[in-house]
Amino acid sequence: MTSLQADEAFVEHYQLTHDPFTPRVPGFKFFPAQRKPVLAQLHQLARYSALMQVVSGPLGSGKTLLRQALVASSNKQSVVSVPLSARQAGNSAALLRGFSQGLGGSSQDVDGLLGQVARLNQAGQEVYLLVDDAEKLQDEALETLAALAAGDSDGRAHVFLFAEPELLERLEALGKAERCHVQELQPYTLEETRAYLAQRLEGAGQGLELFEDRQLEEIQVESGGWPGAINRVAREVLNEAMLAEDQPAVSTGAGMNLPKKHLLALGVVAAGVALALLMNGREPEVAPAVTDNLALGQPGAAAQNEVAVASTASASAGPAIQFEGDKPLPLPLVGQGQPVPREPLARAAGGAGVEELDASHAAMPVPVGVADSANAPAGGVAAGVAPVMPAEPPSATPVAQPKPAPTPVPVAEVNPAPAAPLAVAPTAKPVPAPAPTPSAPTGSTGSSSWYLSQPVGQYTLQLFGTSSEGAAQAAVREGGGDYRYFRKLHQSKPLYVVTYGSFSTPAAAKSAVAGLPARLQASKPWPRTFASIQQEIRQAGR
């Protein structure tokens, strides 16, 4: 995924109008906390002080933004501002050349530039020379700036240096410290950080409720209260939360966090080992309760049988797939029951048996089934599959002097073949393949036509997504007419997303959350535009 795609996914997930944590955002507002007093003092000292003004702070402390605010808040009729960066004008010659171009002149020495400044002063205009990234200035460039700030009897330039703290040590070493007035920027407090993030999010159409109190404290600690770091850490926190919803993790007893699909794979391996040990011990016992669940189509049966089939295939020496003639019978795929985002809500809607496998059931041996007697090999049982035997077969030892009976059986005709009917007992019928998931009902519940007919600017509440269409249908039936679902593709697999209602604004959608059942509110439903849903439906080809 490219950076642009990641940004689009981030903005879409949180329903933002733009990324609020980039340096320059639409409708940007200057945040005054800890910075407005510094800005006012810079204006004051520029008017009455002949010293160079040094604004010091670490990377990301807001120095460049403060320089921009100083230029923007100056009176354009009485102040001529010339902003430069030491990244491009680090030596004396480049600095003088850039200053001259900013004044609209051609002089490129200190005396000639002071003459230009004097003419502007006589016309009632002050000259501001603002140098960003000043820690990159060479020593000769610092000497030149000191000369421009001192000026002569006719005029002088007001020099502002915005630099990291290392510049202060260099000025001290050069003996220029006494000719400077230093302003050191301070970090934001926790409350100021909260207000700063609230202002940024408000400009992007959201609010501070995107963050929990725990997350805000984490942002404050990791950023140290510096605005540049606050933007970076805040974005990382929201990205991690977004990815956690897409890939839920389960905490293990050893203190590790593993994705559920990895734990499922470990469970399959463990079940295979257990089944292998069981078969080596010649104990073909089965779990009839699980078999009955599958036959009756009870919730959870399909997911449990997936684990048992995978276990048998990996543990038995012979093939574990039944054959009907020359064609293999279809078997369920391992992984169809993998949980998806909003999984707890899918469980609450009745899909828990499909969404999440129980580790205790995964370890239980489940018979794949017995082939039909007409197509079975000699012995009546499919190769590699233990037969289900209701009772111990009777001994077939020949009787020397058989007693008369209504239907005598000659000794010479005793054959092991009659053991085949034992495997075709009423309780040992072939296990049917899992019934296919019912197709989506017609009407508004499972049809994409309703979503495609909605205005693109309208909103709906996304409740949860599930890989089981049956779970989505159950939630819609339980909720009623305002509940619907659509099909999309998530990691190239079908995902059924349940939504609620249609609203004209995000605020109206959010206000409807309070009327939802508690179990749905717990998943934090969020507003989505119908435009984004329609795009996902078209991408899914439905």
Burial of 166 (0-12, 13-18, 19+ CB in 10 A): exposed
The closest of 264, 255, 252 to 306, measured between CA atoms, is: 264
Q: What is the pLDDT of residues 109-153, one digit of tens each?
A: 999 999 999 999 899 999 999 999 999 999 999 999 999 999 888
Does one domain contain both 215 and 268? Answer: no
Does one domain contain both 299 and 282? Answer: yes
The closest of 359, 387, 358, 357 to 371, measured between CA atoms, is: 387
Q: For the chain, which ranges sit under pLDDT 50?
A: 1, 249-255, 283-403, 405, 407-445
Does one domain contain both 210 and 234? Answer: yes
Does one domain contain both 76 and 42? Answer: yes
For the chain, give percent helix, strand, coil, nearest 5: 45, 15, 40
Domain boundary among 153, 169, 184: 184
**Is residue 525 in some structural domain?**
yes
For residue 175, the enclosing domain spans 36-184
For residue 494, give the H/E element and its range.
strand 493-503
Does one domain contain both 47 and 153? Answer: yes
CATH number where 151 lies: 3.40.50.300
**Is residue 87 in some structural domain?**
yes
Domain boundary among 322, 345, 362: 362
Does one domain contain both 334 and 356? Answer: yes
Q: What is the pLDDT of residues 193-224, one digit of tens each?
A: 999 999 999 999 999 999 999 999 999 999 99
Domain boundary among 246, 272, 292: 246
**Is residue 422 in some structural domain?**
no
| 8 A C-beta contact, residue 84 and residue 129 | yes
Q: What per-residue confidence (pLDDT) applies to 55?
A: 96
Does one domain contain both 166 and 200? Answer: no
Neighbours of 473 (CB within 10 A): 23
Contacts of 198 (CB under 8 A, 6+ apart): 207, 208
Q: What per-residue confidence (pLDDT) applies to 449?
A: 87
Does one domain contain both 263 and 146? Answer: no
What is the value of pTM for the model shown? 0.47
**Is residue 368 in some structural domain?**
no
Does one domain contain both 130 and 230? Answer: no
Burial of 191 (0-12, 13-18, 19+ CB in 10 A): exposed
**Is residue 89 in some structural domain?**
yes
Q: What per-residue confidence (pLDDT) applies to 191?
A: 94
**Is residue 228 in some structural domain?**
yes
Helices 227-246 and 190-203: crossing angle in degrees, nearest 10, is 70
Contacts of 38 (CB under 8 A, 6+ apart): 55, 66, 183, 185
**Is residue 432 in some structural domain?**
no
Q: Got the DSSP string for 25-43?
A: -TT-----TTTHHHHHHHH
Q: How far is CA 438 from the centre of its chain?
A: 31
Total structural domains within the chain? 4
Give the 3-state DSSP-derived string for 63-102, with helices as H, strands as E and coil as C: HHHHHHHHHHCCCCCCEEEEEEECCCCCCHHHHHHHHHHH
**Residue count of the chain:** 542
CB burial of 247-277 (b: ≥16 within 10 Å; e: otherwise) equals ebeeeeeeeeeeebeeebeebbeebbebbbe
Does one domain contain both 156 and 233? Answer: no
Does one domain contain both 202 and 305? Answer: no
Does one domain contain both 174 and 47? Answer: yes
**Is residue 178 in some structural domain?**
yes
